[in-house]
Amino acid sequence: MPEDQNENVSGNPDSPANRRNAHSSSPGGYAIASFVLGILSFLTCGPCAGIPAFILGMIELRNIRNRLSPPEGRPFALAGAILGAINSALIIAGVLFYLLFVLLMFIMRVHENRFFLPAP
């Protein structure tokens, strides 16, 4: 095993181990993208940013677990995935609540007209 962390671990300079060692001081791109999209999902973009934030965060967490991405990105990927999941869940809950409200209003209107029909 080489003593220097940045030395080639194998003969191939493009191997995943060498890429990981060369960039181990900064978080991965997917982690930062997930975090930024997670924040944007609450500020402006809603589910258009929340769903990709969750997906990118989960991909990056898997890459970190498989040692394909630097572990420094784990907090960013985790925060992005959590923010994206929370935003998506809130959007889905809001849409379901709205549909339930509309359905209840429709049912009440149907029952209201049923009992109070105008006299012929």
Name residue, tokens 């409200």: 101
Contact predicate 42/87, CB 8 Å: yes
Residue type at 100 in one-letter notation: L
Domain ranges of the chain: 16-91
Please name which of 28, 73, 81 lies closest in space to residue 52, comparing C-alpha atoms: 81
- Angle of helix 47-65 relative to helix 74-115, nearest 10 degrees, comes to 140
Cβ atoms of residues 81 and 53 within 8 Å? yes
On the question of pLDDT at 9 being above 80, the answer is no
Judge whether residue 99 has pLDDT over 70: yes
Task: Please provide the size of the chain in residues.
Answer: 120
Is a pLDDT exceeding 50 seen at residue 1? no
Hey, what are 42's tokens? 């609450």
Mean residue pLDDT across the chain = 82
For the cut 80, the answer to whether the pLDDT of residue 83 exceeds it is: yes
Element housing 78 (H / E): helix 74-115
